[in-house]
Amino acid sequence: MSLPAERIVAVDAGEIGAAPGLRGGSLGFVETIGQSIANVAPTLTPALNITVVAGIAGTGSWLAYLIASIGMMFVAGNIGVLARRHPMAGAYFIYIGRTLGSLAGLLAGWSMIAAYAGCMLACVFAAHVFVTDLLKGMGLAALMPPGWLFDLAFVGLVWLFAHRDIRLSSRVSLVLEMLSLVIIGVITAMIVAHRGYIVDRVQLDLPQIGFAGVTSALAFAVFSFVGFESAATLAKESRNPTQTIPRVLLLSAGIAGLFFVVIAYAMVLGVNDKARVIARSASPFVEVSGRAGMAAIAEIVYGAALISAFACALASLNAVSRLMFSMGRYGFLHRAMGVINQRHGTPHFAIAAAALATALICLGLAGFRPIDAFGYTGTFATFGFLVVYLLISIVAPLDLSRAGIMQMRHLVVGAVGVLLMLFVFFGSLYPVPDYPYNLLPYLFAFYLAAGAAWFYIAAARAPLNADALLRDLE
């Protein structure tokens, strides 16, 4: 007799393989790099991210993105070293834990929970801004529901897709992302043509830019890149992964970085170097394109950005729920998190818990402007990614050293990656950013401390769980 379709069963996370239809060697170079580019969701930067960066760095926005790009290239090089030696899905936690110890591995997982949860929250608030802009542009602003209601509806829709199959939506989002990039590229060229010149003496006058603002904006500039590392999770499905994955990581970081630098430079140029116009606008690309006589076209970009926000939120919910699933399997979270639904093959309790927590936080932040809530949650998420990027840069040369094959260039790449990530951390602390951004680094430090304390308590109760969890985090 067959089992009921809705029966809930607990399984080892290692038994959850690739999605049906994905086989070893089934993904070529184009599909693999497309995955990273889609997860970066570069459309969100000119549509919204630039608002926060321009508000902090001003005419130095392009420089903040340039420094962030260089840092991400070195991080990509360090990840590539490990991906070339150990092509495995979800390897970041395994690399860190095996090399630096279980606590470091567990804190990496704890950081990634904050990273993906914060990323999902930022996407919800970004979608809120995009829908408002779209309805205003179409003269239908009266149809916009109360902000808290829209946020809850958006989270509910994301939960529904995460509970079931997301392959179709992922493919659609990739196509729309590429389409929106083409649209943005064309509009950017038209903005520059409208100005009549490319060389902007104000933006290129480095002594007058204000380096303090540039360093303070680095944390959020790095947020624009998060997701580029996701190609490494496709190692088992990629053709010749030991060669493909490192190339994809470097190219995706490089392409995204070039796009961000050019778009930030062009947008500030488009507003006559008055970066505060972008910083104060909840619709920065509408503002810039409108000044070039193309406001109607910008509405199309916000439509595509809305889809990108949804795709990012969906990917983030799936990522954080899988981490919660692994931790629940070994008692570090409630064991209900560690069960799956047989019909859909998803950890639906973990998905529901993460979605519910997101909804509650959205309600808690309902008093803030969506653009401000986006900045707060996005910056907090960035610290989670930075911790993992920093640890990876430490682990890469150590892994090669233990294998007896480390060369000086590997040590240099690792050291530069560490220094640049530390520089980004330092830039978020000094000069002291405006309130409440000045509190976010300390809130994240408190979050890490709470995670470390919790893991020590849990490990003391069940000593075997720590090593088991570390193996299962993949």
- pTM of the model as a whole: 0.79
CA distances from 249 to 41, 235, 397, 408 (A): 15, 12, 17, 21
- Cβ–Cβ under 8 Å, residues 47 and 130: yes
- pLDDT for the residue 10: 37
Could you tell me which CATH number the domain at 23-472 has?
1.20.1740.10
297: which 2 tokens? 């076209």
- Residue (of 16, 32, 18) closest to 248 by Cα position: 32
CB burial string 426-454: b at 16+ within 10 A, e below = ebbeeeebeeebeebbeebeebbeebeee
What type of residue sits at position 13? A
Which pLDDT score, from 0 to 100, does residue 19 have? 36
Backbone φ/ψ region at 7: left (φ over 0), alpha (ψ -120 to 50), beta: beta
What pLDDT score does 87 carry? 65
Q: Look at residue 324 in the predicted model and tell me its pLDDT.
A: 78
pLDDT value at residue 171: 61
β-partners of residue 346 are 341
Length of the chain: 474
| pLDDT < 70: residue spans in the chain | 1-28, 31, 35, 86-94, 164-174, 176, 233-237, 282, 295, 298, 326, 329-332, 338, 340-346, 462-474
For residue 362, give every residue at least 6 positions away whose Cβ sits within 8 Å of its Cβ, in sequence order, or none. 121, 124, 125, 148, 151, 152, 155
- Residue pair 312/119 in contact by the 8 Å Cβ criterion: yes
The answer for residues whose C-beta is within 8 angstroms of residue 178's C-beta and 6 or more apart is 34, 37
